[in-house]
Structure 1
Amino acid sequence: MNEPEFAELAAGHSLGALSAEDERRYRAALAAHPEWSAIAEDDADTAALLAEGATSVAPPPALRDALLARIAVTPQSADPEDAPPVAAEDALAPEPASEPAPADAPVAGAAPGPVAPEDSRSASAAGAADGSRRPRRLMFALAACLVLILGLGVGAAVVIPQLLRPAAVVALDRIENAPDAAQKTVSLPSGGHATAHWSASIGTAVLVSDGLEPLGGKQTYELWFVRGDGPVSAGVFAAEPGTTTAQLSGSMHAGDAIAVTVEQAGGSPTGKPTSQPIIVIPTS
């Protein structure tokens, strides 16, 4: 057993998803390779962290059914040790060159002797064995997800979306929870409005606009911190229909004004505004 195969077993062990046979293989490999214990410990810590604080609630039946249906339609392959199918790329590969005859081989014209089983495996078949492991890993991942979600219940359905939230939304939450959180709103020429949210203590600012018109592919909106020594670019963003949330990159200084200009795609080539700002929001 190699290290990647052990890592798969260790992940399944940490989730309680191994069969009795795989559990035996896992323990035997760990005993034979104590240097792999760090892998097992990391997986166990991760599983414990995911389970910590999760509410024990039965998941909706549709969740289990959907995962099982996904597993059912995923192509499966035999174990690599049990005559694996040949991958498509290996089937199209040229035949490997035959090995030179040993010194005691029969002379030319004699009937060929039996081929030893270990010599009958070509490099192509070895590659197929590696390729056949890919579906097994996918099946393992899907099964592990099923075990994890069923084990954590609805808590996982709550935690995972939180980890996938846009960075600007996460930054806005941090600002709103800061002790010095502040905001200011101005009207847009298009009839909408834009609100700057900031916190000087954490040095972060976010602009939330409603009704900001989307631009064509040749232009973009660019954010700026405007301070005593001039404007400092804070990144570009694209407006979406409805509400757009954009985080200003870089660190905000106390007293900075927040501005937005229309620039060419990719942002100002000079590092300075090339047009008059369409939004200016003072923070002092």
Structure 2
Amino acid sequence: MNERDFADLAVGHALNALSEADERAYQEALAGNPNWDHHVRHAVDAVAAIGDSVEPVEPPPSVRASLFARISELPQDSAVSTSPNESVVDDEDYAAAGPAVIEPEREAVTVGASSASGWGARRWFALAASFAAVLVLGFGAVTVSQLFAPPAAVVALQQIEDAPDAQSASATMPDGTVATAHWSPSSGKSVLVADGMPALPDGKTYELWFVRGEDQIAIPAGIFEPDADGNATAQLTGEMHSGDVIAVTVEPAGGSPDGTPSSAPVLAVATA
């Protein structure tokens, strides 16, 4: 299981939406990769933020009426006898009865998840649909796309990991910050994943650089801000060349005004 698959499972775990098999896979992956625990914290914080962002609303009477109407349609036989050659097939999941129509699950092409993980596009859609049903009932005004669309840097990281020429390199700074650079020449993308970066004062930001060649020319590659725990997944803008050093400096908000580093790097990962 790669880190992206684990991050998906962490969301399902935070929502208590994992199957027994996925929960076991989640626990085993976490035990084997304790440094991935920041994904768990992010997922728990996101679920809590969703809950805190909306006011409780009493469900309308129509919900109860619709539920009981669906229940009344169920067969009232106390038992069903079947011969050895017969089987009972459930055509509908009545446990999911409610005011919203639930379409039967169809076969779909899994996107953005490895074959080792059961957490693919269909589960994301089902999870999003569950939130959509809540939102339709008036429990919130946040769009599903806002809640579940992965950040561009995360998408880029997945594309790199899926590429046949994916590469990575890591470095640990004196202050304890751990950084891993991920890149793939065929995808043309590069991403820096960092844990434990110090918080910056107001008016300051972190800026990415490609440091290139014997002359150590620094080429700006975007700015980013870590989360409250000092973790960040940041995609570098521009083309990475073989042998580049990926560096991070502290710059004024908005990035270096003259396009050159104004301070020594606080983080550097050699890719050669």
When normalised by structure 2's length, the TM-score is: 0.48
Which is higher, the Rg of structure 1 or of structure 2?
Answer: 1
